[in-house]
């Protein structure tokens, strides 16, 4: 199974892809429905286990959906 890190790296570094059209949905305790969505432009760095944003580090195990250009390209069961 392809993991979120691999997908995000492919989207970020492929020349014909606009990474800003990427949406990452992840579990964020306390947010409405325990879900938060960020765009590709908010991702500052893609690390080994986490992605870095201005707000902090998001572990890849919390990511449950990735969309590109409004099309779901990754999805797994949301663990609450």
Give me the pLDDT at residue 2, please.
85
What pTM was estimated for this model as a whole? 0.92
Please list the pLDDT of the chain residue by residue as tens digits (80 residues): 689 999 999 999 999 999 999 999 999 999 999 999 999 999 999 999 999 999 899 999 999 999 999 999 999 988 76
DSSP secondary structure, 1-65, as one string: ---HHHHHHHHHH-TT--GGGEEEEEE-TTSGGGEEEEEGGGEEEE-SSEEEETTEEEEGGGEEE
Domains of the chain by range and CATH? 4-75 (2.30.30)
């Amino acid at each position: 199974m392809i993991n979120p890190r691999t997908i995000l790296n492919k989207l970020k570094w492929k020349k014909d892809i606009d990474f800003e059209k990427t949406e990452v949905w992840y579990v964020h305790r306390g947010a409405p429905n325990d879900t938060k969505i960020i765009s590709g432009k908010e991702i500052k760095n893609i690390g080994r286990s986490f992605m870095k944003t201005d707000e902090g580090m998001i572990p890849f195990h919390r990511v449950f959906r990735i969309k590109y250009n409004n099309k779901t390209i990754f999805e797994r069961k949301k663990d609450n």
